[in-house]
């Protein structure tokens, strides 16, 4: 059975951005060491990725890069239901100084009782600054500069 992981903006940006080949290879090696994975991403995360990539690539390249990434790594794009968005909004409200809307949505999905996801992120602040999150979700922090 494949381990279900939700990819955060930072991880995707490393994989598709203008990071060095060594940094990309290091991340891919770490991901392959994790075993058999199925990657997931939410539409709002893709919005953030497109924003970041727009700073370094032309508009037509951004679209191509994102679609190629999704197709090549067989990433599944998930669209949460309205209740998930509402729970994410409540989580963000109670952690307004820590979580972005995308962070809140990712954490809410990872806390889902039916589908267990592990968060793959580069944002150590998202996990470390909230006392309860470490207890509620599985996560792996990738540290890159």
pLDDT tens profile 24-53: 777 777 777 777 888 899 999 999 999 999
- Give the number of domains in the chain: 1
Q: Give the pLDDT confidence score for residue 145 in this predicted structure.
A: 45
**12, 62, 79, 84, 136 from 103: Cα distances, Å:** 14, 22, 15, 13, 14
pLDDT (tens digit per residue) in 80-131: 999 999 999 998 898 877 788 998 898 888 887 777 788 888 887 766 656 5
CB 41 within 8 A of CB 77: yes
pTM as predicted: 0.82
Domain ranges, residue 88: 3-141
Residue-level pLDDT at 45? 94
Q: What is the CATH number of the domain that holds 119?
A: 3.40.50.1010
């Amino acid at each position: 059975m494949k381990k279900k992981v939700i990819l955060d903006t930072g991880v995707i940006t490393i994989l598709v951005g203008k990071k060095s080949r060594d940094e990309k290879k290091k991340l891919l090696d770490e991901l392959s060491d994790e075993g058999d994975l199925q990657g997931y991403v939410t539409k709002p995360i893709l919005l953030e990725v497109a924003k970041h990539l727009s700073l370094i690539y032309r508009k037509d390249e951004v679209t191509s890069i994102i679609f190629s990434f999704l197709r090549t790594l067989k990433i599944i794009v998930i669209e949460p239901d309205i209740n998930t968005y509402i729970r994410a909004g409540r989580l963000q409200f109670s952690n307004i100084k820590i979580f972005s809307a995308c962070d809140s949505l990712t954490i809410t999905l990872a806390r889902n009782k039916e589908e267990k996801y592990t968060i793959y992120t580069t944002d150590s602040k998202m996990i470390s600054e909230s006392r309860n999150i470490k207890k509620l979700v599985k996560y792996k922090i990738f540290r890159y500069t």
